[in-house]
Chain A
Amino acid sequence: MQDFIQNIDYMQLLYCFITGGIICVIGQILIDKTKLTPARILVIFVTVGAILGGLGIYQYLVKFAGYGATVPLTGFGYNLAKGAKEAVDQYGFVGAFIGGTKAAAGGIAAAVFFGYIASLISKPKMKKQ
């Protein structure tokens, strides 16, 4: 345990915190200034991430910030694009259709599964505020 704590790269953690925070602030400014709905914000972030991933730009941010760049939805888009490119390298043209979803499979499956479980065990409640 002590060994693990000594092994954490604290500078990396700081970059992660700051980068993740800044990406969220961009989203907040979009919400407050443009009145976009949550669904649209998420779509914009995922598409921008996929485009930047496709152009090979986003990987530098991932190298710099680690999970600070991959946990926000731009990272989800980046992951999809990266998966598609890697699968094209491996399978050729058909890889474009395989790679993206394959790379994001864990996240999508988890969200669907946990969503279903949550609906079984819980009910919506009135917001108190």
Chain B
Amino acid sequence: MEKIGNQTIKFNSPPTILNTASIVGPKESQGPLSKYFDKCLEDEFWGEETWEKAESKIIKETVNTVISKSGIPTNDIDYCFAGDLLNQCISSSFGLRELNIPFLGLFGACSTFVEGMIMASIFAESNAGNNCLCAASSHFCSAEKQFRFPLELGNQRPPTSQWTVTGAGAAIISKTGVGPFITHATVGKIVDMGIKDSNNMGAAMAPAALDTLITHFKDTGRNPSYYDAIITGDLGHIGKEILIELAQTKGYNIKSNYNDCGVLIFDKNSQDTHSGGSGCACCGSVFSGYLFNQLKDKKLKKILLIATGALTNATTAQQGESIPGIAHAVSIEI
């Protein structure tokens, strides 16, 4: 493991993504990627009393699923990195409290999943442990309750708004294995271009994604065509378009191989999700479900996964603060 360029870690003996798991809610199950998820829920409560309990159960079951799919005994998992959007990350800490794996909670807003992958890769390659688990969850209803309005309030969502994905993604990253390998990680900087509209998160996060994207290319000496696919976390339709144009002005053409998890997970026309999906589970479930499957099937051989996050909360939004964005990238190759 060594640092190259300004912000990139190069893994000299790249850790392997051993296996992944994903669970999603009913709306995501009606989307175009439904067949790739391990479990599709029929209702958002999943038999629980509150949205918060439901989200905890989703991340707990996702983690249990990835452990059983990987075939590793729970005792052999050395660390768990997890996070979510609810205050003080209670979904992960409550959901995983009976797991009995050393736990490190993360908050990177919607970028948490890739933040976890980076941490897990570093721990795995540095001999701190052999198998590290990372997970992230979000829930439409708990997020609406915390960040926006009660569900039953009769308000309209503007066309720039995004739909928080209900679900979770989890992955086990191991020191040795047959791939897909995490070869590079670019840790992003906080970028704030002054956007204050919390109904336009894609636009608020796109500059951070651009910064990480360009830094990654400069640090590694690669260019967009090196990758079969460049995938961002939850910029949505508007953020995706903005990122393509911004990259163009900086001299990088990503139009042909770039997409966004928030665009992929829902069908914009039939599901009325406006600018697309968002939330920790957006990147988490699309990678753990769809993208990992494509890597395993060798339909994609080299991908750059850039999870984006909006580092804001309901209080700062009311105080008129702008929305700082963050983006972390991992390069995954087979």
CB distance from A85 to the nearest CB of B (A): 33
Across chains A and B, the number of contacting residue pairs, with CB separation under 8 Å, is 24
Quick check: is B199 within 8 A (CB to CB) of the other chain?
yes
- Let me know if A38 and B141 touch, CB within 8 A: no
Count chain A residues whose beta carbon lies closer than 8 angstroms to a beta carbon of B.
8
Chain A residue with the shortest CB-CB distance to B156 = A31
Among B98-106, B124-132, B146-154, B178-186, which stretch is in contact with chain A? B146-154
- Let me know if B199 and A38 touch, CB within 8 A: no
Complex-state Cα separation, A127 to B144, whole angstroms: 11
- Let me know if B149 and A124 touch, CB within 8 A: no
B27-54 toward A: CB 8 Å interface, digit per residue (1/0)? Answer: 1000000000000000110000000000
Q: Which range contains the number of B residues in contact with the other chain?
A: 10 to 19
- Let me know if A38 and B158 touch, CB within 8 A: no
A118-129 toward B: CB 8 Å interface, digit per residue (1/0)? Answer: 000000111101
Q: Across the interface, which residues of A come within 8 angstroms of B43, CB to CB?
A: 126
Q: Across the interface, which residues of A come within 8 angstroms of B26, CB to CB?
A: 126
Partner of A126, one of B141, B155, B156, B271: B141
Quick check: is B228 within 8 A (CB to CB) of the other chain?
no
Complex-state Cα separation, A126 to B25, whole angstroms: 11
- Let me know if A126 and B140 touch, CB within 8 A: yes
Complex-state Cα separation, A124 to B52, whole angstroms: 13
CB distance from A83 to the nearest CB of B (A): 28
Quick check: is B241 within 8 A (CB to CB) of the other chain?
no
Complex-state Cα separation, A129 to B270, whole angstroms: 9
Quick check: is B197 within 8 A (CB to CB) of the other chain?
yes
Quick check: is B321 within 8 A (CB to CB) of the other chain?
no
B104-156 residues at the A interface, CB under 8 angstroms: 140-141, 149-153, 155-156
Quick check: is B76 within 8 A (CB to CB) of the other chain?
no
CB distance from A125 to the nearest CB of B (A): 7
Partner of B149, one of A31, A35, A38: A38
Assuming the contacts A125-B151, A126-B151, A127-B151, asked whether A35 and B141 have C-beta atoms less than 8 A apart, the reply is no
Complex-state Cα separation, A126 to B41, whole angstroms: 13
Complex-state Cα separation, A35 to B155, whole angstroms: 12
- 24 sample A-B contacts, Cβ–Cβ < 8 Å, listed by A number: A31-B156, A35-B158, A35-B197, A35-B199, A38-B149, A38-B153, A38-B155, A124-B141, A124-B150, A124-B151, A124-B152, A125-B151, A125-B152, A126-B25, A126-B26, A126-B27, A126-B43, A126-B44, A126-B140, A126-B141, A126-B151, A127-B151, A129-B271, A129-B272
